[in-house]
Structure formats: structure tokens, C-alpha cells
């Protein structure tokens, strides 16, 4: 018989045959005092407020900048983005397959570690 099944049988036997002990009268008060003494964590700290203020000011400044740029600058930015994309296509044909193969390798390693962990049960 398996050791765990034997232990479970002993526990079941003890639960059925031994009498239950009475609960102490002050257990509810002790538990409630313990719960009320713990301080609740602060949900929003000053660091969160400062970080949100910095992010909001960055977004507002970008929005204000894009509203006030001259239209010729948008055309130049579009031309430069097209040239950058074409340069990527012409000079970096090796990059896309290497990225896919490296991603596949990372996923393979993660899967192997997971399977190795699961099979050791």
C-alpha cells in the first residue's frame, strides 16, 4: 500500500474516532484583534504620483509639439522614414530570419525546461 494512502487512512480514522475539542471562547476576539492591528498598504504612493505627473507632462509636451510643427517638417519626416525602411529592406535581409530563428530557439529552450520540470514529478 502506498505510504500516502496509509497516512490518509490513519487521518480519516482519527477524525472519525477521536472526540472534537471545544473551541476557545475568545478565539474570535483574538482573530479580530490581530486583523485590526495590521496596517493596510497604501494604494497610491508619492512615487506613483510623481511618475504619473512626469508621464503626463511628457505626453502633453509631445502633443503640443506635434500641433505646432510646420507641415513641411511632417513631409521631411515621412521621406526619412521611407528611406530608413528601404535601407532596412536592402541592407538587412539577414535580420528577419535571424530574429525568427532566435525567437524559435528561445521558445524551444523554455518548452524544454517546462517539459523537463513536468516529467520529473
pTM for the full predicted model = 0.36
**CA separation (Å) from 89 to 26, 81, 100?**
76, 12, 16
Q: Note the Cα 28 to chain centre separation in Å.
A: 37
Average pLDDT over residues 38-53: 83
> How many CA within 13 A on the CB side of residue 61?
6
Number of domains in the chain: 1
Distance CA 9, CA 15 (A): 10
Count the residues in the chain: 121
Kindly indicate the confidence band of residue 38, based on its pLDDT and cuts at 50, 70 and 90: low
Q: Give the tens place of pLDDT for each residue, 65-93.
A: 888 888 899 899 899 999 999 988 888 78
Q: Give the tens place of pLDDT for each residue, 6-36.
A: 888 888 888 888 887 777 777 777 777 777 6
Per-residue pLDDT, 120: 76
Q: Which domain holds residue 115?
A: 3-119
Residue 121: pLDDT above 70?
no
Amino acid at each position: 500500500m502506498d505510504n500516502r494512502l496509509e497516512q490518509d487512512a490513519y487521518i480519516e480514522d482519527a477524525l472519525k474516532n477521536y472526540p472534537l475539542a471545544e473551541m476557545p471562547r475568545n478565539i474570535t476576539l483574538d482573530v479580530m484583534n490581530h486583523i485590526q492591528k495590521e496596517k493596510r498598504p497604501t494604494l497610491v504612493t508619492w512615487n506613483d504620483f510623481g511618475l504619473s505627473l512626469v508621464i503626463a507632462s511628457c505626453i502633453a509636451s509631445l502633443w503640443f509639439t506635434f500641433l505646432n510643427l510646420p507641415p513641411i517638417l511632417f513631409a521631411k519626416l515621412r521621406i526619412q522614414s521611407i528611406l530608413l525602411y528601404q535601407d532596412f529592406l536592402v541592407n538587412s535581409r539577414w535580420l528577419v530570419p535571424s530574429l525568427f530563428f532566435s525567437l524559435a530557439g528561445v521558445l524551444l529552450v523554455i518548452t524544454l525546461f517546462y517539459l523537463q520540470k513536468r516529467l520529473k514529478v
